[in-house]
Copies of this chain bind each other. A is one copy, B any other.
Amino acid sequence: MRRGRKNRQENTRKTSAVKPGMPGGRYRPLTQPDEQQVHRTILDVLENIGMGDPIPIVKEQALERGCFINEHGRLCFPRAFVEDSIANAPRNARLFGRDPKHDIDVGDNRVHNYGGGEAVNMLDVGASSYRPSTLDDLYDTARLVDRMDNIHALARLVVPTEIQDQFACDINSAYVSAAGTLKHTQLTFADASHVQPTLEMLYMIAGGKEKFHERPFCNSGGCPVISPLRYGQDNSEVCVESIKFGAPIWVTVAPQAGATAPAALAGAVVQSVAEALAGMLMVHVVDPGTPVVLGPWPFVSDLRTGSFTGGSGEEALVSAAAVQMINYYGLPSSVGAGMTDSKLPDCQAGYEKALAIALAAQAGCNDVSECSGMLGSLMALSLESMVIDNDLLGAVLRTVRGIEVNEETLSYKVMEQVVHGEGHYLRAQQTLDLMRTEYEYPALADRLAPGEWEAAGSPDIRQQAGERVKSILSSHYPEYIDPAIDAKIRERFPILLNPDNMHPGNSRW
């Protein structure tokens, strides 16, 4: 049955050929001796070069546990200490959705896609220039992620740039996330003092503190390292304060090869993983029981200009290698993948995203981050790109699932039957049986015959994506915060999202 464009666009069926958390790990950019050499160098770095500028609580606790300050005044972690911390760290953790169907189990090499971004610009549907992103945009991303099968959780994809006050910015980010999706949400805070009041708002949304902590549907963390190899105060404090969520802490570091990390790719991997471990060690000297999602994100420079290139082959490669190292340690992982340099959802965006996302996923990344909607080396977000990426992620996940090999799937008997029978497999029972389970169908990607495509006006996928974005965002206004609670939240906290924009008829769509 051939389905028309309209049907395809409205199609929101949960596919059964892919699911969150399928194991990766069949791509290994590093050999086993490579892994060990990288690991030994990481231990050397943490033990001898150490980390600058630990915050007082971390320094104090670390020294108590056998770490030391070297002659340069830097906090050093003895290799046995690092190895023990790795061995004792929680290896698996659940990121809860508000609906259990959205729960995510990070750890091992289970692949999920979500997170990241913090872009400060939007590319509007059909536009060819950027504008500053707003709180309404962040709300839209939450509603859209809520409907994307292959984007498994939410993070602050864009910054509400119109909000000057940092506390208002952070708590509003949390508010619109909870208003827009039931998927797990990763939060970001500019200052540790924002954590407690945000938690109090989340308690109200959850129906009480205990309810929230039974299934914490948000987590938090930060980027506690200023590369190379120095702790940053504000984000270190946020990471430590985030332990209060009772959820895994995310720790992301992004040393840039050729600028704040070695230009040699091996060195960039060493430094980024060492810094991510330093983030974990920081959390664990305060509370060894808190799971940490380690995000060594080795970024890459275009050495001709010094600027960050998120879409390069080098970026895809070092990110996959960083995943491999975190899997070598058996710890939960995240890397940035999908950070195209293109400013538009064009062919460059497509191929740069697919290359990085495919390799990160095949390497077995627990959180393939930056994978949905990001453009311009993380400078902008496009909702069109996000729905296109949802299809891309579905295709990548299909490759991650791999090929089941057993007597039935090897199909010897079917082959024999067909060769001596009808001469084709179109009506074979196996073919009919596997239609829904063996094959993943994209929502947008064009598979028409050329004549049909021309008759439809020769659309490119960006046009199709724009229609899908409008269709979802003009209709999907979930009521994920109880109206009575919402009123109380708005009394107590400086919530800036206009309630008029939370209903169909919203003039924005």
Interface set of A (CB-CB < 8 Å, partner B): 1-3, 26-31, 33-34, 37-38, 41, 44-45, 48-49, 52, 72, 74, 121, 128-130, 228-229, 257-271, 300, 302-307, 309, 311-314, 316-318, 320-321, 341-355, 358-359, 362, 376-377, 379-380, 385, 388, 391-392, 394-399, 402-406, 408-412, 414-416, 418-420, 423-426, 428, 430-431, 433-435, 438-442, 444-450, 453-454, 458, 460-462
Whether B346 contacts A410 by the Cβ 8 Å rule is no
In the complex, which of the residues B30, B270, B419 contacts A49, with contact meaning CB atoms closer than 8 Å? B419
A303-B439, A403-B30 as given contacts; A434 in contact with B313, CB under 8 Å = no
Whether B267 contacts A409 by the Cβ 8 Å rule is yes
Task: Name the residue among A121, A229, A269, A344 with the largest chain B CB count within 10 angstroms.
Answer: A344
Number of copies: 2
Q: How far is the CA of A113 from the CA of B257 in the complex (A)?
A: 28
Distance between A373 CB and nearest chain B CB, rounded to angstroms: 12
A317 partner residues in chain B, CB cutoff 8 A: 398-399, 402-403
Q: How far is the CA of A148 from the CA of B505 in the complex (A)?
A: 52
Whether B353 contacts A259 by the Cβ 8 Å rule is no
Distance between A305 CB and nearest chain B CB, rounded to angstroms: 5
Nearest chain-B residue to A338 (Cβ)?
A: B351
Q: How far is the CA of A346 from the CA of B384 in the complex (A)?
A: 13
Distance between A129 CB and nearest chain B CB, rounded to angstroms: 5
A262-B425, A263-B425, A304-B3 as given contacts; A343 in contact with B409, CB under 8 Å = no
Whether A263 contacts B430 by the Cβ 8 Å rule is yes
A414 partner residues in chain B, CB cutoff 8 A: 262, 264, 267
A300 partner residues in chain B, CB cutoff 8 A: 439
A3-B304, A403-B29, A440-B312 as given contacts; A410 in contact with B266, CB under 8 Å = yes
Q: How far is the CA of A265 from the CA of B426 in the complex (A)?
A: 15
Q: A265-B409, A313-B394, A314-B398 are in contact. List 10 more A-B contacts (CB 8 A).
A: A30-B405, A259-B425, A263-B435, A264-B411, A300-B439, A312-B395, A343-B450, A347-B388, A349-B350, A351-B354
Whether B392 contacts A351 by the Cβ 8 Å rule is yes
A258 partner residues in chain B, CB cutoff 8 A: 425-426, 431, 434
Whether B348 contacts A349 by the Cβ 8 Å rule is no
A2 partner residues in chain B, CB cutoff 8 A: 304-305
A358 partner residues in chain B, CB cutoff 8 A: 354-355, 358-359
In the complex, which of the residues B266, B316, B388, B434 contacts A348, with contact meaning CB atoms closer than 8 Å? B388
